[in-house]
């Protein structure tokens, strides 16, 4: 990893990390809209790589080939839509199979390295809200504000269930709980960039909070920072 991004350090970054289905996507997206900041859904990059791998029938243990696929992703973001080459894959990358595959290939160091520079490029004026697992620990360790969102596994399974049904996917609560636990286990115990709160992160348990309440808390922390001239 290089240090060539140092000239971007003045652009404010808010990192929002947390486990699967903790609501960080919704919270980060809304916070970005409220602040007029750019938004990075870093998980989508792992999902795009996973979708590419699944479609090409790639061997999920072939780290080198998967890193190549990550490095040469032709993706673009337009509003809420995500494109792979010219195809709108916004819905396709949300399938559980894609998420599970993303979580597996995200444990491969070469894949993470391949996506590193792409993620740094999202740091542009007037600011960035970035969500993922390692935004505050690895990608933007000097972020002005770091947040770690959590929620009980039951609350998260419940949210994921509603999300999937809303998007027209079928879902079983029992399978979802099992998947969430497995994914938590993989994300927290992998050797590289494991899921954990960054140093100095504000931890927010959203089990009994709405997304909007969580957004307000994040914005309040950010406003407090500005008030105290910390940024």
Give the binding site for ligand CDP (CB under 6 A). Answer: 20-21, 42-43, 46-47, 99, 102-103, 106, 132-134, 183, 187
* Chain-centroid distance, C-alpha 141: 15
User: In angstroms, what is the minimal distance from the CB of 223 to ligand CDP?
Assistant: 26
- 79 preceded by cis ω (within 30°)? no
Beta bridge partners of 87: 84
Strand partners of residue 202: 147
Q: How far is the CB of 102 from ligand CDP (least distance, A)?
A: 4
Longest distance between any two alpha carbons in the chain, whole Å: 53
CB-wise, 53 or 106, nearer to ligand CDP? 106
Residue 133 C-beta: closest distance to ligand CDP, Å: 4
Q: Which is nearer to ligand CDP, 24 or 220 (CB)?
A: 24
**CA–CA distance, 40 with 128 (Å, rounded to integer):** 7
Residue number, 10 or 55, with CB nearest to ligand CDP: 55
**Least spacing, CB of residue 10 vs ligand CDP, in Å:** 23
Does residue 200 sit in helix, strand or coil?
coil
């Amino acid at each position: 990893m290089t240090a060539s991004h140092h000239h971007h350090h003045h652009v404010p970054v808010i990192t929002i990390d947390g486990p699967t289905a903790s609501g960080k996507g919704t919270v980060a997206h809304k916070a970005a809209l409220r602040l007029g900041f750019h938004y990075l859904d870093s998980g989508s990059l792992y999902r795009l790589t996973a979708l590419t791998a699944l479609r090409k029938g790639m061997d999920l243990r072939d780290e080198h080939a998967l890193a190549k696929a990550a490095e040469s992703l032709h993706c673009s973001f337009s509003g809420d839509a995500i494109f792979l080459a010219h195809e709108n894959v916004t819905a396709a990358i949300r399938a559980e199979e894609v998420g599970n595959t993303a979580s597996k290939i995200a444990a491969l160091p070469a894949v993470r390295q391949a996506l590193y520079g792409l993620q740094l490029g999202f740091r542009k004026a007037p600011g960035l809200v970035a969500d993922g697992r390692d935004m505050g620990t690895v990608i933007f360790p000097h972020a002005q504000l770091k947040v770690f969102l959590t929620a009980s596994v039951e609350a998260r399974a419940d949210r994921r269930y509603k999300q999937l049904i809303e998007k027209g996917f079928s879902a079983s609560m029992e399978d979802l709980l099992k998947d969430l636990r497995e994914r938590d286990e993989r994300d927290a115990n992998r050797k590289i960039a494991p899921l954990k709160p960054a140093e100095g992160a504000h931890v927010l348990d959203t089990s009994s909070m709405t997304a909007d309440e969580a957004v307000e808390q994040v914005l309040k922390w950010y406003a407090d920072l500005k008030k105290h001239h910390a940024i």
